[in-house]
Structure 1
């Protein structure tokens, strides 16, 4: 089940998983798992991702309606 749009936002902004991993102090494997929706970041981490990518946190989530 797809919950987040992290990969889509990265592609739209021309950003690589490796760069995001470095900025967040996370492993590339962790970022990859988020991008493939194998696992989900916590809300606090999702907010950090949004801040690093300079996007509204809502852009990182699949709309429910």
Structure 2
């Protein structure tokens, strides 16, 4: 089940997993697991990701109510 859009956001901003890992102080394998939705980041980590990518935190999540998108 896809919950987060981190992989999409990285592609849209032309950033790599390694870059994000360095920016937020996480292991590159953790970022990879988040990007494949194998694991989910905490809200705190989502906020850090949004901050470094200069995005709204909501841009990192797939909407749950499809009719609003």
- TM exceeds 0.5? yes
Query: TM-score normalised by the shorter chain: which range applies?
Result: over 0.9
The size of the alignment, in residue pairs, is 65
| CA distance in 2: counterparts of 1:18 and 1:44, whole angstroms | 19
Alignment root-mean-square deviation, CA: 0.4
> Is the counterpart of residue 11 in structure 1 residue 14 in structure 2?
no
Task: State how 1:1-65 maps to structure 2 within 5 Å.
Answer: 1-65=1-65
* TM value normalised by structure 2: 0.92
- Structure with larger Rg: 2
Superposed displacement of residue 20, structure 1: 0.2
TM-score normalized by the length of structure 1: 0.98
Moved over 3 A (4+): none
Gaps in structure 2 of 5+ consecutive residues: none
Question: What whole-Å deviation, never above 9, does each CA across 1:7-61 have from its counterpart, x for those lacking one?
Answer: 0000011000000000011010000000000000000110111001100000000
